[in-house]
Amino acid sequence: MNETISSLLKTVEKPGRYSGGEYGAILKDKARVKARFAFCFPDTYEIGMSNLGMRILYGCLNREQDIWCERVFAPWVDMQQKMREHGVPLWAHESGDPVKDFDILGITLQYEMCYTTALQVLALSEIPLLAAERGEDMPIVIGGGPCAYNPEPVADFFDCFSIGEGEDNLVEFTRLYIKMKEEGTYTRAAFLHRAAATIKGIYVPSLYTVTYHADGTIAAITPKYDDVPKQVEKCIMADMDKAFFPEKPVMPYIEAVHDRIMLEVYRGCIRGCRFCQAGMIYRPVREKTHEVLNRQARCLYDNTGYEEISLTSLSISDYTELEPLTRALLDWTDKNMVSLSLPSLRVDSFSRELMDRIASVRTSSLTFAPEAGTQRLRDVINKNVTEEDLLRATRVAFAGGKTNVKLYFMNGLPTETADDIEGIATLSSRVVHEYYQTEGRPKGRSPQVTISVACFIPKPFTPFQWEAQDTMEVLKEKQEYLYEKITDRKVRYTHHDARVSHIEAVLARGNRTLGRALLLAVQRGFCFDAWDEFFDYDKWLAVFDECGIDPAFFANRQMGLDEILPWDVIDIGVSKSFFKREREKAYAATTTPSCREACSGCGANRLGGLRTPCPDCKEV
């Protein structure tokens, strides 16, 4: 790290965000490295260092002797100001070298509201924002993460995207870069074309022409070359037991958001909630065996000394080997004072035995997500839990000594009525009532039920991807209506900012025309829009207005079922016909059983060597 950077560290908050040199960081001899990869999480160090995906891909790339992957994070606003004042470009943590000197810059896009921060990373790195303006000496900028499943709003700024799980294809991508450099055949254009044509999961936006109808909808998405796929198929890891796992993670100097062992139990989800993008894009379910997980957990404990293990997945209680896994873990965690945390429990599979095994027995609260206040609306969204499931789970919690329960709901869901909104208040009061009916509840203490209500955001690759988001006015009316209906003083009501949800919906369903708005936003200094203190709704509206963009076209418009969607260029395995069937069932308030009960014919098993024979699945 040069002297200028070292001097800057003395002038900013939390210099440990930028210093590097952590235990577990990987250093390599530059003379033996053929490709340098900067991996960026476009948010603060504390958040990025908590991301398991970043740890996995960092390890996968560094496992290759001639590839060196280093970490990059978005500097906080005080450091950004100092960097601009002193003309210091953004640097990588391991070497301290400028990001602009690397061969490849990977940016993971975990949530739409990080887009402006990701683009500020490019600006701070002195890399041209627009991909078309980058010269041969600039890094190849590749995006990934869940937001890459609709990359079109940021297509102008990225050379390419990695679609799906990148353990294999990012290494293959970097190997192709090395090969073409050694052959002397490398140019940016030639490399990107060859990567798109030969590597699964690589999407290069510049190789596709997008045309529009007069009304702004998409007329066609057309590859410019015959060897470029019409749809880019996502990558998946077929065998999770053989998937790379970071057994020696980098240990942050300052406290991370998730300062614990994160044990990835499985990928995918069997449930099929109709609003949930993650439950669709990560299909099919692929589990690790409990023996592998126990071995990895023990190794991580020995290498880190963390005192908590979080079992991560979309729905941990759906893991088929949860009982033998927790039993195996408890054989050694209890003796070493290591607690277990299961953060994604479902009310229909919650039990006293399970509660007694997890870390939250040491706190007074538990969290559940009924999502909707009435059974009709829970059937619409295919939640497949009942009011009795929730009340039974809370009885178990109260009998086990809990006094606080947090409940997650959504408002603005398709077909929602005033009765559904009032149902949130009614259900919350019933949970309070259940406390006083439960034998064995804590004596002399009162319950507290906290409800957190998010605004529905229609997301790509869900049965609700075509639906219109409620307008700002309607969302606010619904929030005020629920507030009026909550009369129990033991129920505490919080809700998400509808303005943020509106902008998120615009970015989630946007097309390439949003690029000019994002460019203007970054030029005006937008950054850290995922943080409440920096988000400015009026400034976003002003940018859209200046660019001639109507945000309602993306957020509040019912999209046509036969309309070409911006993300149709991506193939996640799950078919559009499945989404249409699920949408029809939603409007009929008909549920679909979980994948474990019956195959619903989504098509996900046709990817990545998982072509499992399925007599019920017409898509396979």
Mean pLDDT of 336-351: 80
Per-residue confidence (pLDDT) for residue 414, from 0 to 100: 98
Torsion of CA 440, 446, 447, 448, to 10 degrees: -160
Structure confidence by residue, pLDDT tens digits, 133-169: 999 999 999 999 999 999 999 999 999 999 999 999 9
Per-residue confidence (pLDDT) for residue 358, from 0 to 100: 65
Evaluate whether 237 touches 221 at the Cβ level (below 8 Å): no
Per-residue pLDDT for 354 more than 90? no
Using 50, 70 and 90 to split pLDDT, how confident is the model at 608? low
Return all residues near 169 (Cβ < 8 A) that are at least 6 apart: 162, 199, 200, 201, 202, 235
Using 50, 70 and 90 to split pLDDT, how confident is the model at 1? low
CA 108 to chain centre: 9
Per-residue confidence (pLDDT) for residue 615, from 0 to 100: 40
Q: What is the overall mean pLDDT for the chain?
A: 93
Higher pLDDT, 358 or 215: 215
Structure confidence by residue, pLDDT tens digits, 558-598: 999 999 999 999 999 999 999 999 999 999 999 999 999 99
Per-residue confidence (pLDDT) for residue 155, from 0 to 100: 98
Evaluate whether 136 touches 119 at the Cβ level (below 8 Å): no
Rg (CA), the chain: 25
Higher pLDDT, 308 or 521: 521
Report the range of poorest mean pLDDT among 25-29, 178-182, 605-609: 605-609
Using 50, 70 and 90 to split pLDDT, how confident is the model at 128? very high
Per-residue confidence (pLDDT) for residue 616, from 0 to 100: 40
Return all residues near 250 (Cβ < 8 A) that are at least 6 apart: 22, 23, 24, 25, 26, 49, 55, 58, 71
**Vertex 385: Cα angle to 384 and 386 (nearest 5):** 125
Evaluate whether 476 touches 498 at the Cβ level (below 8 Å): yes
Question: Using CA atoms, how far apart are residues 141 and 160, in angstroms rounded to an integer?
Answer: 7
Evaluate whether 86 touches 114 at the Cβ level (below 8 Å): no
Per-residue confidence (pLDDT) for residue 613, from 0 to 100: 44
Question: Using CA atoms, how far apart are residues 433 and 448, in angstroms rounded to an integer?
Answer: 11
Per-residue pLDDT for 96 more than 60? yes
**Sheet bearing 160-162, strands edge to edge:** 67-73, 35-41, 104-108, 140-144, 160-162, 202-203
Per-residue confidence (pLDDT) for residue 334, from 0 to 100: 86
**Under DSSP, is residue 340 helix (H, G, I), strand (E, B) or coil?**
strand
Evaluate whether 198 touches 160 at the Cβ level (below 8 Å): no
Report the range of poorest mean pLDDT among 4-8, 204-208, 422-426: 4-8
Question: Using CA atoms, how far apart are residues 338 and 309, in angstroms rounded to an integer?
Answer: 7
Per-residue pLDDT for 357 more than 70? no
Mean pLDDT of 166-174: 96
Question: Using CA atoms, how far apart are residues 353 and 369, in angstroms rounded to an integer?
Answer: 20
Evaluate whether 399 touches 439 at the Cβ level (below 8 Å): yes
Per-residue confidence (pLDDT) for residue 361, from 0 to 100: 41
Evaluate whether 569 touches 228 at the Cβ level (below 8 Å): no
Q: Which amino acid is at 487?
A: T
Structure tokens at 586: 């939603």
DSSP 71-109: EEEPPPHHHHHHHHHHTPPPB-TTT--BGGGSSEEEEE-
Return all residues near 454 (Cβ < 8 A) that are at least 6 apart: 408, 409, 410, 411, 495, 496, 501
Structure confidence by residue, pLDDT tens digits, 477-535: 999 999 999 999 999 999 999 999 999 999 999 999 999 999 999 999 999 999 999 99
Structure confidence by residue, pLDDT tens digits, 236-278: 999 999 999 998 999 998 888 888 899 999 999 999 999 999 9
Region at 363 (left for phi over 0; alpha for psi -120 to 50; beta for the rest)? beta
**Under DSSP, is residue 259 helix (H, G, I), strand (E, B) or coil?**
coil
Nearest to 456 by CA among 490, 498, 393: 498
Per-residue confidence (pLDDT) for residue 40, from 0 to 100: 98
310 phi, psi to nearest 5 deg: -105, 120
Mean pLDDT of 326-341: 89
Give rounded-to-5 percent helix, strand, coil for the chain: 40, 15, 45
Per-residue confidence (pLDDT) for residue 339, from 0 to 100: 86
Per-residue confidence (pLDDT) for residue 182, from 0 to 100: 97
Using 50, 70 and 90 to split pLDDT, how confident is the model at 365? low
Question: Using CA atoms, how far apart are residues 456 and 465, in angstroms rounded to an integer?
Answer: 11
DSSP 279-316: HHHTPSPEEPPHHHHHHHHHHHHHHH--SEEEEESS-G
Supply the pTM of this predicted model: 0.94
Evaluate whether 498 touches 475 at the Cβ level (below 8 Å): yes
Beta strand 491-495 with 448-455: parallel, antiparallel or unpaired?
A: parallel
Region at 382 (left for phi over 0; alpha for psi -120 to 50; beta for the rest)? left
